Structure 1
């Protein structure tokens, strides 16, 4: 799922390429993507793109008095066309969800791979009025040490859960949270409220370090390169069985229904392997 650093990079590219241009029309290829009826999607036609930003995992495209808010879910992404394709947009099995056509002949697509459709688009005068955005917590990358300490002290959840729960702190997902916990030398299973002051400080520094490193790597990348660069930069996430870049121990994994987390047993859990219920069942 796209997280804050890659969405920031995508927003910067759209600002460079689309800001100041007028939307000619928005073509909908997947009717399930549009989650609002009023204002209609057609209301964006004739609006100038004035800003492009991000809130949590939402991409926000400001169009004068309206916004197009897009959540890319697990498999959504963007594609830029210097020249708008001549083939008409039609509903079907294509990855295309919607296309924004600009007045200078360029366009950009919102796409979604796979069969599990979760990409969502909203047209609104006020993004903060959308329940999906109004319920977001503060941006993870903008938290002070004191803010983070207060969040952790009030939670009995595991650290992995706290870092990825958007109503608690917004912008992080499965990938960067794994790398943050590794950088902080903390177990993903640690209970949030049990962290001492030094551990909170380490976690705060790790959030800044990992997000900062990702932002630097992704800055200026083309849309079709952002995901590859992001994955190449992971230290532990998606690296099961490979050596930890700090100590050389094989990276371990815990699997869930549709996702998994990765960690270094030596750096994060004192050499212990975390319980993996799926593997435990297989080994019985």
Structure 2
């Protein structure tokens, strides 16, 4: 699933490429992605793109008084065709296409078997319930330890699930929650309420370090390479059976409470 570092890098690329251009056509829209039936994507034909921004894992296009907001779901992404030239990444199928006044085309694509991509045309991003409900964003320079404390409080909720809870913290998904907990040396099964002051401080620093470093590392990576760059950068996520890059122990695949995680048993011991 695309997470905020990759969506941020994508938003910056699209902003540079598309801002100032006019949408001349919206085509090939799969009706299943449209969440605002009274304002279909075709209604934005002729609109000028003033900018592209990220909201958690959502992508928003500022259209001078209205917004096109996209959710990638689990396997959605953007494919760019510059002046009719095919993008090198042709996996998946287009569920909508946006053509600009210079002939370039942005395709909204679904690369999985289950269609979860979604699109809204709204007056403001907060008109999308998922955007309005987002918690503080760790990538923002305004995010501080008090934001994390408010998210955790004294909740008896496993910290991996809490990190992925978008109303508590925006933009973190399955992969980066594994990376954050490995950096913080915490088991994903621990409850927020059980963390010590030192563990909370480690968790905050890991959240900030992992998420902001990922944004820096993704900048400049072409849109079609962002997913591969994310996978290549993982220390433990998706690396079950491999050696931990910190201690050399074998990374374990762990299933608990309907969730799954990759972790290092030595770096992240489970405390009962």
TM-score computed with the length of structure 1 as normaliser: 0.88
1:213-260 CA-partner distances (Å, limit 9, x unpaired): 211221111111111011000010000011001000000012379963
1:142-172 CA-partner distances (Å, limit 9, x unpaired): 4311221222124210000100011211100
Q: 5+ unaligned residues in a row in structure 1: which ranges? A: 87-93, 275-284
Correspondence for 1:133:
131
CA–CA distance in structure 2, aligned partners of residues 11 and 84 of structure 1: 21
2:35 maps to 1:38 = no
CA–CA distance in structure 1, aligned partners of residues 258 and 53 of structure 2: 29
Aligned pairs, number: 265
Deviating more after overlay: 203-212 vs 253-262:
253-262
User: Residue 267 of structure 2: SS of its match in structure 1?
Assistant: helix
CA–CA distance in structure 2, aligned partners of residues 204 and 57 of structure 1: 20
Correspondence for 1:117:
115
The equivalences for 1:249-264 within 5 A come to 249-255=249-255, 260-264=260-264
The equivalences for 1:1-284 within 5 A come to 1-84=1-84, 95-142=93-140, 143-255=143-255, 260-269=260-269
**Residue 16 and residue 257 in structure 1: after superposition, are their counterparts in 2 closer, same or farther (change >3 A)?**
farther
User: Residue 221 of structure 1: SS of its match in structure 2?
Assistant: coil
Q: 5+ unaligned residues in a row in structure 2: which ranges? A: 87-91
User: Residue 73 of structure 1: SS of its match in structure 2?
Assistant: coil
Report the RMSD for the aligned CA atoms in angstroms.
1.9
CA–CA distance in structure 2, aligned partners of residues 259 and 194 of structure 1: 20
TM-score computed with the length of structure 2 as normaliser: 0.92
Deviating more after overlay: 161-170 vs 252-261:
252-261
CA–CA distance in structure 2, aligned partners of residues 179 and 108 of structure 1: 31
1:12-36 CA-partner distances (Å, limit 9, x unpaired): 1101111111000111331101111
CA–CA distance in structure 1, aligned partners of residues 194 and 123 of structure 2: 42
CA–CA distance in structure 2, aligned partners of residues 185 and 262 of structure 1: 13
